Amino acid sequence: MDIYSSKFAIIVIIALVSILALQVVTNSNNASQLIDSETCEIYVIDSHINAKKYLNEFDQKCLDFKNLNP
């Protein structure tokens, strides 16, 4: 098969798109985005290692709610 043929290019594109789709599907099951109730900071829990990773981002709705109820 010649690498300059259109059939080869289509096969490569389909293979790369399927790999990307597989990564997106498996990644969405492994991590869930949550909000810390004390600090309103957004963190992710990885289900493989059961660890929290804080993202240095804060939920604006949570901060507004905390400012209304001191």
pLDDT at 28: 61
Tell whether 1 is covered by a domain. no
Threshold 0.75, pTM exceeds: no
**Element counts in the chain: helices (H) and strands (E):** 2, 3
Cβ contacts of 57 within 8 Å, gap of 6 or more: 41, 42
- Which stretch of DSSP H or E encloses residue 43? strand 41-46
Tell whether 11 is covered by a domain. yes
- Take residue 42 and report the two structure tokens written for it: 């957004």
Pairing assessment for the beta strands 51-58 and 41-46 based on DSSP bridges: antiparallel
Q: How confident is the model at residue 1 (pLDDT cuts 50, 70, 90)?
A: low
- Indicate the number of domains in the chain: 1
Which one, of 11, 13, 32, lies nearest residue 21 by Cα? Answer: 13
pLDDT at 18: 94
User: By residue range, what is the domain housing residue 13?
Assistant: 6-68
* Chain segment 2-56, per-residue pLDDT in tens: 667 788 889 999 999 999 998 877 766 555 678 888 888 988 887 778 788 888 8
